[in-house]
Amino acid sequence: MIIARQKKKENIAEYLLYMWQIEDLIRANGLDLDKIQSGIIDKFDQPEEAKKEIRDWYESLIDMMRREDKQQSGHLQINQNVIIDLTDLHLQLIHSNKEPFYVAAYYKTLPFIVELRARAGELQTGEIETCFSALYGVLMLRLKGQSVSEETMKAIKQISTFLGLLSDKYKEDRAGELDKE
């Protein structure tokens, strides 16, 4: 919760990837709050009041996962809303005359997005979600100690750059500093 709060302020892309990890972490612990308490929360070097707040946060996420039937897979609506917000901003930016650098970064990334969607058969997943899925997939491979091809790493580097730019634009937009018109 502390990390999520900070990431949400600083970098929305890192926040979303972190939240996807939290969803998987909750699933790995069988949506069992006591396991999460002993395996994760108790290991935080935080005062008891902060640990209670963290426990409450995990408990609310577990409740959401149950209510939204996301115990096995998928992403919580709060995380899907981030994708929706980023997609909306992305569409505004690529149609803006004031964002040629962003548009250029998008078109440089687009061939990788198209290839990823073709490989995965993700025709119903939007481009922004495809980018996040690719980054998350490579993150999971690395955590498992599996290798990633040079070609995939080239794509991931470009996707990361693109999502970093989108995150910067998101932060500017939230601060009221982005002129999209």
From first to last of its 181 residues, the chain has per-residue pLDDT tens of: 778 888 888 999 999 999 999 999 999 999 999 999 999 999 988 899 999 999 999 999 999 999 999 999 999 999 999 999 999 999 999 999 999 999 999 999 999 999 888 877 755 678 999 999 999 999 999 889 999 889 889 999 999 999 999 999 999 999 999 887 7
**144: three-class secondary structure by DSSP:** coil
Structural domain includes residue 94 = yes
> Are 96 and 167 within one domain?
yes
Q: Which residues of 122-153 are buried (b: 16+ CB within 10 A; e: fewer)?
A: eeebbbbbbbbbbbeebeeeeeeeeeeeeebe
| 44 and 121 fall within a common domain | no
Cα first-last separation, the chain: 35
CB atoms within 10 A of CB 104: 11
Residue in this structure with the two tokens 């990361």, named with its chain if needed: 160
Residue range of the domain that includes 153: 77-174
> Are residues 98 and 63 located together in one domain of the fold?
no
Q: Say whether both 114 and 160 belong to one domain.
A: yes
Indicate the number of domains in the chain.
Answer: 2
Q: What pLDDT is stored for residue 162 in this prediction?
A: 98
Q: What CA–CA distance (Å, rounded) separates 118 from 124? A: 11
Count of other CB atoms within 10 angstroms of residue 167: 19
Cβ density class 51-82: b for 16+ within 10 Å, e for less:
beebbebbeebbebbeeeebeeeebbeebeeb
Please indicate, yes or no, whether residues 89 and 140 belong to a single structural domain of this protein. yes
Question: Are 81 and 170 in a shared domain?
Answer: yes
Kind plus residue range of the DSSP H or E element containing 138: helix 127-143
pLDDT value at residue 83: 97
Whether 34 and 83 share a structural domain: no
Asked if residue 39 belongs to a domain, the reply is: yes
Q: Is residue 126 part of a domain?
A: yes
Question: How much is the pLDDT for 146?
Answer: 93
Task: Give the predicted TM-score (pTM) of the model.
Answer: 0.92
> Does residue 62 sit in the same domain as residue 84?
no
Same domain, 40 and 18: yes
